[in-house]
Structure 1
Amino acid sequence: MHQGRTKMQAPRPFKRAAGGIGISMAMLPVCAGGALAQEDIRVVPDRGQTVMDRSRPEVDPVGVRIGSFRLDAAAFAGVGYDDNLLGTSTNKLGDGFVEEGARASLVSDWTVHQLGVRAGIVNRTYFNEGNFDWTDWNASAFGRYDFGGDTSVNAAYTHSRLHLAPQSVDVQQAGLAEPVPYNVDQFDVGGTTRFNRVTLGMSATYAMYRYDNVPGPGGNVSVYDYDALTLRLDTGYEFVQGRSITLGIRYQDLKYQDSASSDRDSQTWAALAGFRYDFDGVWAARIAIGYAWRDYDGPQFKSLGTPAVEANVTWNATALTTLNFTASRSIQESIRNTTASYVSNYAQIRADHELLRNVIISGWAGIGGQEYQQPTQRATDLIFGAQATWLMNRNLALSLEYRYVDRVSATGGLQEYDENVVMLRLRAAL
């Protein structure tokens, strides 16, 4: 829920990554049989597949078959440098770090139904500034039961250990100068069905957020522990195959656990209308725009209303290049004692290009913002990044990543800053 929360970083534990680059042409046999093998592994991308998602049989990890389940696992280690750990404009504090992590999943490959577990961990240790060390991890179990081809129900449980980054406006304005760890226990249930051209989906999420006992000028942040119940209703009408108009309704009820914070309890309603386009294999889009409104139990907190946006557009410009645009605008929770929440904005465009069969380069540019109404404050960040990944073989991949953040605008006493982060990482996978 919190935009300032730092999610587990690469190698993106629960998203398919391009991992590494494959065997070079010079290493392939030159006989006729080798030529045929080469044609077999250089498969034509499936219609609509992006550069990052497509199959590369010669360099993709094969996993391990365990009956009707497949085990996938990977571990990585890397070194890097962050030149502004606190996100300040003066007296910058920088330090090098070592980062290591692992992920694993065991998922069924049944033709119907699904059952699986996933887990991942990322640990960062700084050479000199130990107060900034952090460890994020999560583990989940999930399942889906199919009633024919059009109806299914699903359930999942996830435990996550995450942290808020010191560069976050929310952390800075809470008077803190170190990562803020917290735990999330999340339960999800839902189902989808289809009636001719109409699809209907309903889901419920219950999440419990628990902060560590980190003291600050506004008190211990654990007083902001809360539970969130979120209900969703989504429907769509497919007027042409692969093209639908959509309508989504959201309701969220927040309850804070400490009686001193009970005036921050709130109820939020949101409605979003949009469309899905996923037809020609070149363009795919899911865009929804609407409005969100939040009311608080405490009279000192003004009701908060804002446009809401959820957008994702993918363009497979060529067989070797994919462009992706994402945008969001939503209400998030705050750990500041003067306000209960803020509006989070983010938009990003990303390009992925297959330079060679086993070399993938990526670049992205984004803009993020946080808006507070008590007191009135705004911060706008420009974010740029680039990454090169070399898939050495099925098991090994090497990547180099650079990220730059520039807070170009800050009002109401917030401070501007810039930050450079570079990291070299080696990954090994089954």
Structure 2
Amino acid sequence: MNLSRFALAAAALGSSLSATPVFAQAESTLLEPAIPAGFDRGRNTSVTDRARPDYDPVGIPVGGFNLFPRLDVGVGVTDNVFFNPAEKMTDGFTTIAPRVQLNSDWNRNTLQFRGGANLERYFNETRRNQNAWDLGALGRYELGSSMAVTAEAQLARLYETPFSGAISSDIAVLSNYLRNYLSLRGQYQAGQSRLTLAVDHTGFDFSGITLASGAKLSQEDRDRTIDRIVGQAEYAFSPAMALYGQLSYGQIDYSRNLLNGQPNRDSDAWRLIGGATFDLTSLIRGQLGIGYVWRNFDSPIYRNVSGLSVEGRVEYFPTELATITLQVSRLIEDSSIGANSAFFNNQVSAQVDYEVLTNFILTGLGQYARQDFIDSPVSADIYRLGIQGRYLSSRRVNLRGGITYVKRSSGDIALGSDTNELRGLLTLTIQR
């Protein structure tokens, strides 16, 4: 789950593969991109990003800021609440997600604050209840016309996806952790060139897991801090095309040895990648990069890992009413399963957004991931399909609903039982 923090660094993949709320099973332990993706040049706009003046919230003016309050209330059902293939149990649940964001309304510089929660309550299996929350602040200060500095801080209680590959899928569904994140990013632009340097620090504090027997499973040996530094250079050959090169270094330090007394997976990681960002005519925009990643463990009991690293996100606009998004990535991530030190996480996805009406959007998603464990002959395959509809009733009210199907198979019980889930969710949003 964690070298991806370095593999994702910088020109990362933009939005998550499951960014649409109905598709999100739980939060991933991936870090925020160190340098956000930069392929948006204002020439093309996707269906989901397009401004809809009659339906977009306008916020509440508060001095030099705009306040955007929001409340999501939903009801859903799952046919496999604990992702147990031998004893599948259907259960219903409700979600309540209050959120508020405060954005500055200044001509120069930016200041943002946000906070929210996502509370899930299951009708029968209360061990699956979730109390996720997050707080964040971001400030951007311009130093003249060519330089800018951005600082960001986050604190959140998050829940793992059972398909992450970080721990056995049989218990991952009950895992949650506290994450803190601090970053500082500087950018200098002159003519057609742009240089970016970013540093950040992230801490993870995992809670224990309460098993069905009532016993408590400690996750203290998963607690860690991650520090990284990323540099990126870009050169724009035209308004539509730029090349970039990126070098990142990261250090993972676990707070203690494994529970069995063995050394933990402290390590250093390097990643070198190069590619292009583009926004061509009215049909296509995106980013494609390819490079190499190295992961060197402090303890000799773990084999050092290196290999191909890939990142890509391409949006295709066949018409103004449709956007097709293709994403691909190959990352190294940490594993806490048995003697495995890490695994290559290979993902490819396709998403289609179609504007049936100005206020009605249909979204379909297909995703495939293969997790190849470094010190194991087996691998895990994950398939995800989903469809969602979003209806914008007014500026203040919208409704969305959809279903997703996820399947995971590995052939090795140590990685977790082969399992699947069918989930449906209907959500009402009230906002200003």
TM bucket by the smaller chain? Answer: 0.7 to 0.9
Shift of 1:165: 3.2
Is residue 2:93 matched to residue 1:82? no
Shift of 1:113: 0.8
- Give the counterpart letter for 2:337 in structure 1: R
Shift of 1:233: 0.6
Shift of 1:305: 1.4
**Is contact 1:9-1:122 (8 Å) kept?**
no
Change (3 A) 1:167 1:154: closer
Correspondence for 1:152 among 117, 127, 148: 148
Correspondence for 2:202 among 204, 207, 210: 207
Q: Show the 5 A alignment for 1:363-378.
A: 363-378=364-379
- Give the counterpart letter for 1:81 in structure 2: V
Q: The residue matched to 1:89 in structure 2 has which SS? A: coil
**Is contact 2:22-2:403 (8 Å) kept?**
no
Is residue 2:427 matched to residue 1:428? no
Q: How far apart, CA to CA, are the structure 1 residues paired with 2:307 and 2:80?
A: 32
Shift of 1:178: 4.5
Question: What is the match of residue 294 of structure 2?
Answer: 293
Q: The residue matched to 2:209 in structure 1 has which SS? A: coil
**Is contact 1:255-1:262 (8 Å) kept?**
no
**Is contact 1:8-1:162 (8 Å) kept?**
no
Question: What is the match of residue 250 of structure 1?
Answer: 248
**Is contact 1:86-1:166 (8 Å) kept?**
no
Is residue 2:352 matched to residue 1:356? no
Question: What is the match of residue 225 of structure 2?
Answer: 227
Q: Show the 5 A alignment for 1:292-371.
A: 292-371=293-372
Shift of 1:218: 11
- Give the counterpart letter for 1:239 in structure 2: F
Change (3 A) 1:127 1:218: closer
Identify which range, 325-334 or 297-306, moves more after superposition. 325-334
Is residue 2:62 matched to residue 1:72? no
Shift of 1:344: 1.7
TM-superposition CA deviations, 1:296-337 (whole Å, max 9, x none): 011111111121111111112211111111222212222335
Shift of 1:167: 5.0
Change (3 A) 1:119 1:281: farther
**Is contact 2:22-2:401 (8 Å) kept?**
no
**Is contact 2:83-2:173 (8 Å) kept?**
no
**Is contact 2:161-2:172 (8 Å) kept?**
no
TM-superposition CA deviations, 1:203-240 (whole Å, max 9, x none): 01100111013378996211221000011011111112
Is residue 2:90 matched to residue 1:94? yes
Identify which range, 336-345 or 214-223, moves more after superposition. 214-223
**Is contact 2:23-2:386 (8 Å) kept?**
no
Is residue 2:185 matched to residue 1:190? yes
How many residue pairs get aligned? The number is 395
Change (3 A) 1:53 1:178: closer
**Is contact 1:81-1:422 (8 Å) kept?**
yes
Correspondence for 1:10 among 16, 21, 30: 21
Question: What is the match of residue 401 of structure 1?
Answer: 402
Shift of 1:12: 9.9
Question: What is the match of residue 19 of structure 1?
Answer: none
**Is contact 2:209-2:216 (8 Å) kept?**
no
Q: The residue matched to 2:171 in structure 1 has which SS? A: coil
**Is contact 1:218-1:336 (8 Å) kept?**
no
Question: What is the match of residue 114 of structure 1?
Answer: 110
Q: The residue matched to 1:90 in structure 2 has which SS? A: coil
Shift of 1:262: 4.8
TM-superposition CA deviations, 1:107-131 (whole Å, max 9, x none): 1121211111111211111110011
Q: Show the 5 A alignment for 1:123-138.
A: 123-138=119-134
Q: How far apart, CA to CA, are the structure 1 residues paired with 2:282 and 2:104?
A: 27
**Is contact 2:288-2:313 (8 Å) kept?**
yes
**Is contact 2:251-2:267 (8 Å) kept?**
yes
Question: What is the match of residue 268 of structure 1?
Answer: 269
Change (3 A) 1:323 1:243: same
Question: What is the match of residue 34 of structure 2?
Answer: none
Shift of 1:383: 0.8
Shift of 1:11: 7.7
Q: The residue matched to 1:227 in structure 2 has which SS? A: strand
Shift of 1:177: 6.5
Structure 1 runs not aligned, ≥5 long: 14-45
Q: Show the 5 A alignment for 1:165-176.
A: 165-166=161-162, 168-172=164-168, 176=171
Question: What is the match of residue 53 of structure 1?
Answer: 49
Q: How far apart, CA to CA, are the structure 2 residues paired with 1:147 and 1:80?
A: 48
Give the structure with higher Rg (CA): 1
Q: How far apart, CA to CA, are the structure 2 residues paired with 1:74 and 1:115?
A: 19
Shift of 1:187: 0.4
**Is contact 1:141-1:156 (8 Å) kept?**
yes
Q: The residue matched to 1:93 in structure 2 has which SS? A: coil
TM-superposition CA deviations, 1:146-198 (whole Å, max 9, x none): 1233311111110011012345543326x637511101110000111113222
**Is contact 1:218-1:337 (8 Å) kept?**
no
Identify which range, 202-211 or 333-342, moves more after superposition. 333-342
Q: How far apart, CA to CA, are the structure 1 residues paired with 2:65 and 2:267?
A: 43
Q: How far apart, CA to CA, are the structure 2 residues paired with 1:207 and 1:417?
A: 31
Q: How far apart, CA to CA, are the structure 2 residues paired with 1:397 and 1:184?
A: 31
Q: The residue matched to 1:171 in structure 2 has which SS? A: coil
TM-superposition CA deviations, 1:358-388 (whole Å, max 9, x none): 1111111111222212233311111111001
Change (3 A) 1:111 1:177: closer
Q: How far apart, CA to CA, are the structure 1 residues paired with 2:71 and 2:397?
A: 10
**Is contact 1:256-1:262 (8 Å) kept?**
no
Q: How far apart, CA to CA, are the structure 1 residues paired with 2:67 and 2:174?
A: 33
